[in-house]
Amino acid sequence: RALNGEFVSTVARRVERMSTYQLFAWHDMQPELHFPRIRHCLQQGDPVSQLALLQALRWRIVRTPGGDQRRQVVQLLVRHDLFGFRQSGRPLADRLLGVLHETEDGGEDGANRWEGLIREYTVRLLNAMASYAGGRAYLLESSVLQRLCQWLPCNAFTSVGWLNALAVVQKLSPHRYTARKVMLDHDLLDWGCQLLAHPPPPAPLGDRTAFVLEYTA
């Protein structure tokens, strides 16, 4: 079915405004999390349901009061292998991230807009998990860092997904020799130096320019 780009944007704004409880209620789930149903929805659900669930999981982390409680939420997601990194076959995260070497600009085509939004919401959830040691260790078990290193130089600075991808890479970079090696193998050091030498103009990024330069450094 052809999807209208304006409709996609309207749904995305609606998801942003919903509370964590409303997002879980959308799937007839209780807030304690039912991981088999969560993975099933993220794998086979319609795009609206996938967006709502990714948002709910991220808010489950960032809106939980207290650092220790947020850390426990991340540990819960890791313990249940939310993204399927420890299972055989293609990880769920790869399905959600899609083809990262393609740009996010889908124009007014609704299908491309859905793919871009699902990718963005996935990276935002990865960024929330990467804020904690358990989440960083979990992400480094996968090929997520390699995929983000391939994606960053090829996409626009203005997207929220790109900014969150940069944040994930920055949070993973100080940890383990393997993470730094991945970044070197993908020429991210050269790309970062070029970005610092020729920073993006402030207009497209607004007040995010300082964020980009700080995280790149």
CB-based contacts of 120: which residues, under 8 Å, 6+ apart?
104, 159, 160, 161, 164
pLDDT of residue 115: 84
pLDDT of residue 131: 92
pTM of the predicted protein model: 0.77
Separation between Cα atoms, residue 144 and residue 195, nearest integer Å? 22
Separation between Cα atoms, residue 144 and residue 168, nearest integer Å? 10
pLDDT of residue 133: 92
pLDDT of residue 80: 92
- What is the token pair recorded at 153? 């130089």
CB-based contacts of 123: which residues, under 8 Å, 6+ apart?
97, 148, 161, 164, 165, 168
pLDDT of residue 12: 63
CB-based contacts of 180: which residues, under 8 Å, 6+ apart?
173
pLDDT of residue 137: 92
Q: What torsion, rounded to 10 degrees, do the Cα atoms 176, 177, 178, 179 define?
A: 60
pLDDT of residue 154: 78
pLDDT of residue 135: 95
One digit per residue, the tens of pLDDT, for the chain of length 217 reads 334 455 555 656 666 656 555 555 544 444 567 888 888 889 888 888 888 889 889 988 988 888 888 899 899 999 999 998 888 778 888 888 874 444 444 444 556 778 888 888 999 999 999 999 999 999 998 888 888 888 888 776 667 888 888 889 888 887 767 788 888 888 887 887 887 777 766 545 555 555 565 556 4
